[in-house]
Structure 1
Amino acid sequence: MPEIGEVAKLVHQLQKHLVGKTIASVRAIEDTIVYKDTTSELFKEAITGKKVVDAGQQGKYFWIVMSSPPHVIAHLGMTGWMTFSNQSAGWYKPKEEDNEWPPKHWKFLLSTAEDPKCEVAFTDPRRLGRIRLVDCQAGQIRNHSPLKENGPDPVIDREKLSKDWFIEKIKKKRVPVKSWLLDQANISGVGNWVGDEILYNAKIHPEQYTNSLSDTQLNQLLESILSVCSVCVGTLAEQERFPEEWLMKHRWSKGKKDKKLPNGRKIEFVKVGGRTSAFVPTVQKKTGPTTEEATGSTKRAIGTNDENGPPNSPFAKKDSKLTNKRTAAPKKKVPAPVNKGVGKGETGAEDDDDIDDIENNDKESSMTEEEPAKPVPKKRKTPTIDKGPKGNPEKKSKRVVMPNNTSNDKGSTRRRSTRIGRKGAS
């Protein structure tokens, strides 16, 4: 996701290629998800023929100031970007495949009137970005939604992030410090990798609760927020210009083993707030309580260190039932189960003997606890119909012959068959 540094690079490109020029024409594709509180037609009418006066940023949001209201406010989402016809669209470095025009997944195309002419496209493959129009004076853009709901920008609002303000703000909540950093209502612009860089620089574990941080740690955390974000914006998120010891340059491809920094320190990964966080255990040690659902160990995360799995595990109840059945077996001692979940075709047992024990216990409990077994009813012998003599098959007798009946009395036979028929009908 584009974070504070990537958005700074985009604003820099807007100021270079679009500010000071007139929008000659606009093409827009209707998308009810990307266009927020407006439509593609209203967007075209609002900016066609107007001059672009300025471009600015607050965290992950950026805006385009027009010569008259309304103005444009946009968010890039996960994969959104602004592509320029006379410059590469790459976030960090040019790409050979960026020569296609118009680019794929574009939402609007702006064409400038002045020379050299330039076309600007807003692209968003995953449709998680947002395009808005705000009807206000240029100096009041940040006082309107959604910018006013977000926290201060650590670069352009540096003077607002005082120590007193920061300590009071962070101690109001008891959440993992990584989750607090990702909340844009606290500070704007900090995303996943920037948050990891800040915590590594401050030597704080990403899972530690905010209210357990000491004053020394909080002061260091604030300094790290300001310094890391300043580097990101100052370098326009160009990775080659980042310090060599930064996690950003060594954290990717987390599937590979033995990820290390140049100094030999190992990089590990843990999920905090639903996001994969990179940290260095030898530097970022826990000095207070952390989240209960994870401890920094992959084994703990899948429940192998806990008999019934993590407290929030969807299999916790099923695993406890299995454990109860196993402990109820009088003659067999079963080791603690590996929490692989219990689903179709899975029992959570470690060997075939355990599976047999579980199946036997299930059968016995169903016989004794639920209801007694019902006797199997005997099959009733069905009466046969005498079809008459073989020589004349057309004449068939309706007389019913009962099994083991030796009487030739038609009356008695009929009476008996009638009684049987009534009994069978009841």
Structure 2
Amino acid sequence: SGLPQRGAKPRATMPELPEVEAQRSTIEAATLGRRIATLIAVEQGGGPREGQFDDKVIAEEVTPDVLAITLQDRWVLGVRRRGKQLWLELGESKGGACCACLLIHMGMTGAVIVQGVAAPVYKSFAVDETAWPPRFTKLELLMADAAGVSAPCVRLAFTDPRRFGRVLLRGADPFSRPPLSALAADPVTDPPSAEAFASVLRRVRAPIKAALLDQGRVVCGVGNWVADEVLYQAGVLPAAPCESLSEEQLAAIHAQVLAVCTAACGRLERGCDFPVGWLFHHRWQGQTSGSMASPLGRIHFDTVGGRTTAFVPARQVKGQAAGKAGGEAKGKAGGKAGGE
């Protein structure tokens, strides 16, 4: 199924782990056990680069010929995800061994659209679902049906108006080099233990939000809204230095990273709203500073880890480790996150 329309107001934001997992599920339903019968690697849909091969998005000096040789007539053996990265495992025969992988990173505005399936709700531009291919299509795949006949029956397109997404080719082991080799543990598919999580963060001076946003530090896939939700549910201020957190706070943050990511993935898959008590429902007001009233209490906005941050001081506290208290949100908290 595609990304469902939730009750929450659609927002223009980059996809995080839950949204990418929903994309993975959509792609898996459309491609698993099917063969790539045809690919079109020039821009379609009437965008400014109509008819051109986008060598910024289809990156690392991959040419149209190399892309065609790697993808044409390959069978989709699996669709995987780690953090915000997803990839298709491809083989020369159905049920055979993986010989190549097609990696897709959504960036800020990228998405895979399957013909006849609702577009992802996070997209910041409208998709005319009556027209095909969509505007800003960079790569279109036409899939043969499971019987392997030549007539394509499923079409999907990678679209990206702002061109921050990436389409990459890898061999049978996509973890042999970046971006996958640089990622920390995935909180849903490969969650770190509470002790491993805490042992990394005890030594970090940066704000806890910046550490959560760093895709190579302790977990991957956590982005801006997920980090704020995790810290709201754990009752910890986003600007609190990691080294100031008590063992109880570290355990609470670990538990909420796993719980929020797992719940968000599951609810997107089922088409359900996120829980009523989540900060998610109240944070999309376009504010970068100041505060606003909400049913959860007064939500404050500041910049932490280089990102606009929402938090509720009445329900979130600074670090509680003996002799290392900290975390008041004053001005621009440092520790800019990397690797998103």
TM beyond 0.5: yes
The answer on whether the counterparts of 1:31 and 1:39 sit within 8 Å (CA) in structure 2 is: no
Residue 80 of structure 2 corresponds to residue 47 of structure 1: no
Tell me what 2:305 maps to: 273
1:310-354, Cα deviation, whole Å (9 max, x unpaired): 99xxxxxxxxxxxxxxxxxxxxxxxxxxxxxxxxxxxxxxxxxxx
Tell me what 1:375 maps to: none
Measure how far apart 1:175 and its partner are: 0.2
Q: Give 3-state SS (helix, strand or coil) of 1:99's partner.
A: coil
The answer on whether the counterparts of 2:37 and 2:152 sit within 8 Å (CA) in structure 1 is: no
In 2: Cα distance, 1:62 partner to 1:96 partner:
22
Query: Given the alignment, which residue of 239, 251, 260 partners 1:207?
Result: 239
The answer on whether the counterparts of 1:51 and 1:67 sit within 8 Å (CA) in structure 2 is: yes
Distance 1:178 1:110, change over 3 A: same
In 2: Cα distance, 1:201 partner to 1:133 partner:
38
The answer on whether the counterparts of 2:237 and 2:311 sit within 8 Å (CA) in structure 1 is: yes
Residue 118 of structure 2 corresponds to residue 85 of structure 1: no
Moved more, 238-247 or 26-35: 238-247
Tell me what 1:149 maps to: 182
User: After TM superposition, which residue ranges in structure 1, 4 or more long, deviate above 6 angstroms?
Assistant: none
In 1: Cα distance, 2:181 partner to 2:58 partner:
19
Give the partner amino acid of 1:89: A
Query: Given the alignment, which residue of 272, 284, 287 partners 2:316?
Result: 284
CA RMSD of aligned residues (A): 2.5
Tell me what 1:174 maps to: 205
The answer on whether the counterparts of 1:2 and 1:78 sit within 8 Å (CA) in structure 2 is: yes
In 2: Cα distance, 1:19 partner to 1:237 partner:
17
In 1: Cα distance, 2:271 partner to 2:310 partner:
17
Distance 1:238 1:46, change over 3 A: same
Query: Given the alignment, which residue of 34, 39, 57 partners 2:57?
Result: 34
Paired residue total: 291
Tell me what 1:350 maps to: none
Q: Which runs of 5+ in 2 are unaligned?
A: 1-13, 43-52, 93-98, 146-150, 320-324, 335-340
The answer on whether the counterparts of 2:287 and 2:301 sit within 8 Å (CA) in structure 1 is: no
Q: Give 3-state SS (helix, strand or coil) of 1:296's partner.
A: coil
Q: Give 3-state SS (helix, strand or coil) of 1:117's partner.
A: strand
Query: Given the alignment, which residue of 202, 219, 225 partners 2:257?
Result: 225
The answer on whether the counterparts of 1:62 and 1:74 sit within 8 Å (CA) in structure 2 is: yes
Give the partner amino acid of 1:213: L
Residue 220 of structure 2 corresponds to residue 188 of structure 1: yes
Measure how far apart 1:255 and its partner are: 3.7
Tell me what 1:58 maps to: 82
Query: Given the alignment, which residue of 96, 101, 105 partners 2:132?
Result: 101
The answer on whether the counterparts of 1:247 and 1:261 sit within 8 Å (CA) in structure 2 is: no
Q: Give 3-state SS (helix, strand or coil) of 1:132's partner.
A: strand
In 2: Cα distance, 1:76 partner to 1:134 partner:
17
Give the partner amino acid of 2:160: D
The answer on whether the counterparts of 2:240 and 2:326 sit within 8 Å (CA) in structure 1 is: yes
State which structure, 1 or 2, has the greater radius of gyration over its C-alpha atoms. 1
Q: Which runs of 5+ in 1 are unaligned?
A: 302-309, 312-426
Tell me what 1:124 maps to: 160
1:279-311, Cα deviation, whole Å (9 max, x unpaired): 001011224224xxxx535xx56xxxxxxxx99
Give the partner amino acid of 1:31: D
Normalised to the residue count of structure 1, the TM-score between the two structures is 0.64
Measure how far apart 1:43 and its partner are: 1.3
Tell me what 2:11 maps to: none
Query: Given the alignment, which residue of 243, 253, 275 partners 2:275?
Result: 243
The residue correspondences of 1:384-395 to structure 2 (distance < 5 A) are none
Larger RCO: 1 or 2 (CA < 8 Å, sep 6+): 2
Distance 1:96 1:42, change over 3 A: closer
Bigger proportion of residues as helix? 1
Distance 1:279 1:239, change over 3 A: farther
Q: Give 3-state SS (helix, strand or coil) of 2:66's partner.
A: helix
The answer on whether the counterparts of 2:15 and 2:122 sit within 8 Å (CA) in structure 1 is: no
Measure how far apart 1:52 and its partner are: 1.2
The residue correspondences of 1:324-335 to structure 2 (distance < 5 A) are none
Give the partner amino acid of 2:132: W
Give the partner amino acid of 2:75: K
Residue 104 of structure 2 corresponds to residue 74 of structure 1: yes
Distance 1:101 1:273, change over 3 A: same
Distance 1:163 1:206, change over 3 A: same
Measure how far apart 1:19 and its partner are: 1.1
